Structure 1
Amino acid sequence: MTSPDSGVPRLVIAAPSSGSGKTTVATGLMAALAGRGLAVSPHKVGPDYIDPGYHALATGRVGRNLDAYLCGPELVAPLFLHGARGCDIAVVEGVMGLYDGAAGEGELASTAQVAKLLRAPVVLVVDASSQSRSVAALVHGFVSWDPEVRIGGVILNKVASDRHEVLLREAVDSVGVPVLGVLRRAAPVDVPSRHLGLVPVAERGSDAVEAVAAMGAQVAAGCDLEALVGLARAAGPLPGGSAPWTPGPVPTLPHARMRSRGGTPIPSRPGKKSPQRVAIAGGPAFTFSYAEHTELLAAAGAEVVTFDPLRDEELPEGTQGLVIGGGFPEVYAAELSANEGLRKSVAELALSGAPVAAECAGLLYLCRELDGLPMCGVLDASARMSERLTLGYRDAVAVSDSALAGAGTRLRGHEFHRTVVEPGAGAAPAWGMRAPERRVEGFVERGVHASYLHTHWAAEPGVARRFVERCRTS
């Protein structure tokens, strides 16, 4: 294991564009390295919740996001080091094309920016299925575009034949960039997609396990793992002054109280006051959450328990606060609607004034109905599927005082959905969007804060502290 002071060995897996095979290669590399006995730290550039699930399956560690827009460039290295504690090597999967970032913001939130912030070498995954010698021009362009981005090698993906491989290698050699792997098409590696991207791990069960194993086997057979590890070790130290991010004073056992219901127990901070019990929705319908949120809640004094709205018929006993993150309630609308006991339990908690934080899927679940099926009825609003994809970063300010933030608090977030809620905002909206368009959105009612906006609480740790304090006083 390598200490943060000397620099965690690390690689960034990037591509010229989406669809080139980044997830297959990054997940497969994580699995292959873990299979060799290395402790692998998995990371994903951007706000994506789904890829980290596959990363976690490959490594046995929590997949973590590195988002320079949501958290700010200054937190990228600290969050990276937090996730990489005790690891031998870190693999960072990029987002979109290498130089693609937040719209209209230059390099902000791009894979290239994160690679520079981490001083990490980049491995470029190239979809070579429809080219031969032209790959040299493509690689040369990406290598020369930004001299601060170090592209240490190329992995050629979707190669058709031995002859095709020879032509591609000759072309890339002329650019002076080493070919670190060649992968052929392999059906078992394909991961099914639907309206918002890949199907999450939690919904696929053994199929996901088999897919990740196939990715690992393909990368192990087609890539030079020794050269990739050597490149990662050549990353060198992180920028001066970088220290791991910390959520706060979370204790270790046996002093922490541990409770669970349908999920993983989280340690809570001991003290004279009993911890506030916060329930977090999980299971196949609610798979979108950042690990740091749970860590921040625990550090603020919460006893965090998870539950599955598809299975559990009531909230965990003694719940004082509720967090319902993102996911796919539209896929499980019938099952969620049929669980009347839990819908009633959620409504009773919300009506009592207890703090409830709901993002995107959570917003839909709190509505009166979703695609005509009864939901919790906490909000006098109706939700339905839409043909239109709403996607992008948002610059927002809290309009109303809530359990999450005081009015005027500014946060950056991300929207990603194909649903519509009518009306889109309540009498006390949650957020006022500053960019890219000005509008109000979401609902603040009693202790409820419900919105489409996904936020990363590491950017404003006061969110978790405020939420837990409201649990204590409501």
Structure 2
Amino acid sequence: MGFIKLPRIMIAGLGGDSGKTFVSCGLLRYFMDKGLEVSGFKKGPDYIDSAWLKLASKKEVRNLDTYLIPKNEIIKSFIKNGTACDISIIEGNRGLFDGYDSKGSHSTAELAKLLGCPVVLVLTVKKITRTSAALVLGCKLMDKDLNIAGVIINQLAGKRHESIIRETIEDITGIPVIGAIPKLNSEVMPSRHLGLITPDEYELAENAIKISAKAINDYVDTEKLLNIAKDSSLIQDYKNESDEKNSSLTISQRKNKIRIGYFCDRIFSFYYPENLESLADLGVELIKISSYNDKILPEIDALYIGGGFPESNIELLTSNKELMMSLKSAVESGLPVYAECGGLIYLGESINIDGKNHQLSGILPIKFMMSKKPMGHGYSEAIVDNDNPFFSNGTVMRSHEFHYSFIDESAPYVKTCLKVQRGVGAIDKRDGIIYKNVFGTYLHIHALGFRQWAEAMLNQANKYRVELCRHKKMQ
């Protein structure tokens, strides 16, 4: 094991809606436009902010979360994807010290310390002046092992406002103010629910990235920020023996290229890149499917339906009855399907939105309702306690959930295989809805923290192909 140099910075805030994504996207695009090699990361379980960072950097963005992923895997992922980059930008989530519990476990601050990463605090200063210094000082004193190396003040009212805040913060805390962004005239990145809308759903998304990059150019001392990143401590580089391991199952199946499809469009876009890569690493051929353009399910051995916002695009989604019928027929013939959150909704009978019922695929005998508030939000953990096609009893699934939908209590009995020990789940602290070779869940997993998932997908896909070949020979 050795130590390597990786220029890096953590963009943190005091809470949600503080401008972290705007600043992070702006920095990525600004440095990229200047010819620097950049990499973007997002702390925490998140798909939408990551999608904005991906648009800004024009490359895959990795999530780093110590609840979902073991610490050694986080370090390896960061090194793997940050090596050879001039700067890595990590966007924090929520407030700097907000985490799993009162001690701040799994917080942005804990991730920054794990990666030896200097922190730049984005501070919204709307309708405050000297109090801003108290907020920064509180963060500095809260954890003296944390390196808060700079502050970017956001939503300034004017020059006098900036002058008072800059002088107060620097005099009282000793932390330099390296940027001062004024309040913009309009909402650059529109919000929905508890966060931003996805860039795929926003026609002005690219323009929003350009506006953020211009704001960085005009109002942030980028040379100072880059020097802070370059002054990051050395980071330990080490490998896990498991990196070199390949199962005999993987080697044998590489010869026949198992095909696994996944919905990939503006409706279903919630996939951690590592989940798809973990399948590809096992020799799987990944087949993109549009939930609204493709009328017939392609020839595949299994299907993965990730999360998204089917409820926000319900008319477009439900207009494609042909694909729903095609999938339902394949499920009845034994096609393995793994569906998360929005994917689970797709498999249901219907969803009621604002009093109107919309018919879905009808694969699972459940009906969904939409709530005005989150029905499940945050980290979750479940244990397998019932037979199912994918995981053995006793398997622990660390995950996260975020959904405004819920299953109508009048739904008939459905078989479940997960006992939810933390979180809400689907029905009465249960989840993992099973029908034939379908596994539907509200819980999102990350493949780096739940490595059984990719092997399970491959196993089921291989069994289905074998059975299908056997059936064809008998005809």
TM over 0.5: yes
Determine the structure 1 residue equivalent to 2:363.
378
How far off is 1:284 after superposition?
0.8
Determine the structure 1 residue equivalent to 2:322.
341
Q: Deviations over 1:394-440 (max 9, x none)?
A: 12112334343222110111110111113589542142111257821
Distance in 1 of aligned mates of 2:290 and 2:370: 23
How far off is 1:58 after superposition?
0.8
CA contact (8 A) 2:115 2:235 kept: yes
Q: Which moved more, 1:282-291 or 1:456-465?
A: 456-465
Q: Deviations over 1:152-193 (max 9, x none)?
A: 000010111111111011101112101111101123562111
How far off is 1:245 after superposition?
9.4
Task: Verify: 1:301 aligned to 2:283, yes or no.
Answer: yes
CA contact (8 A) 1:119 1:239 kept: no
CA RMSD of aligned residues (A): 2.3
Q: Deviations over 1:236-274 (max 9, x none)?
A: 21146367996977xxxxxxxxxxxxxxxxxx9896631
Distance in 2 of aligned mates of 1:447 and 1:162: 63
Determine the structure 1 residue equivalent to 2:72.
74
Instruction: Identify which of 22, 25, 32 aligns with 1:24.
Output: 22
Determine the structure 2 residue equivalent to 1:457.
447
Instruction: Identify which of 91, 94, 103 aligns with 1:93.
Output: 91
Unaligned runs of 5+ in 2: 465-475
User: Any residues of structure 2 matched to 1:397-436 within 5 Å, and which?
Assistant: 397-423=383-409, 427-436=414-423
Distance in 2 of aligned mates of 1:246 and 1:308: 33
How far off is 1:214 after superposition?
0.5
1:81–1:430 CA distance, 2 compared to 1 (3 A): farther
Distance in 2 of aligned mates of 1:73 and 1:111: 13
Determine the structure 2 residue equivalent to 1:255.
none
1:404–1:116 CA distance, 2 compared to 1 (3 A): farther
Distance in 2 of aligned mates of 1:315 and 1:185: 48
Determine the structure 2 residue equivalent to 1:210.
207
1:157 partner SS: strand
1:429 partner SS: strand
Q: Which moved more, 1:10-19 or 1:416-425?
A: 416-425
Determine the structure 2 residue equivalent to 1:285.
267
2:121 partner SS: strand
1:274–1:243 CA distance, 2 compared to 1 (3 A): same
- Name the amino acid aligned to 1:315: L
Instruction: Identify which of 332, 336, 355 aligns with 1:355.
Output: 336
Identity value in percent:
33
Distance in 1 of aligned mates of 2:59 and 2:213: 16
Determine the structure 1 residue equivalent to 2:472.
none
2:9 partner SS: strand
Unaligned runs of 5+ in 1: 250-267
Q: Deviations over 1:278-332 (max 9, x none)?
A: 011111111111000110011122100111102111222x111000010000011
Distance in 1 of aligned mates of 2:359 and 2:135: 52
Distance in 2 of aligned mates of 1:219 and 1:270: 51
How far off is 1:75 after superposition?
2.4
Determine the structure 2 residue equivalent to 1:186.
184
CA contact (8 A) 2:79 2:237 kept: no
How far off is 1:462 after superposition?
2.1
1:197–1:6 CA distance, 2 compared to 1 (3 A): same
Instruction: Identify which of 37, 40, 44 aligns with 1:39.
Output: 37
1:240–1:86 CA distance, 2 compared to 1 (3 A): closer
- Name the amino acid aligned to 2:359: P
Determine the structure 2 residue equivalent to 1:259.
none
CA contact (8 A) 2:120 2:152 kept: yes
Determine the structure 2 residue equivalent to 1:83.
81
Task: Verify: 1:157 aligned to 2:150, yes or no.
Answer: no
Determine the structure 1 residue equivalent to 2:292.
310
1:218–1:465 CA distance, 2 compared to 1 (3 A): same
1:218 partner SS: helix
Q: Which moved more, 1:175-184 or 1:69-78?
A: 69-78
1:172–1:67 CA distance, 2 compared to 1 (3 A): same
2:448 partner SS: helix
- Name the amino acid aligned to 2:435: E
Instruction: Identify which of 427, 446, 469 aligns with 2:436.
Output: 446
1:20 partner SS: coil
CA contact (8 A) 1:347 1:376 kept: yes
- Normalising by structure 2, report the TM-score: 0.90
- Name the amino acid aligned to 1:386: S
Determine the structure 1 residue equivalent to 2:467.
none
Distance in 2 of aligned mates of 1:63 and 1:17: 22
1:472–1:278 CA distance, 2 compared to 1 (3 A): same
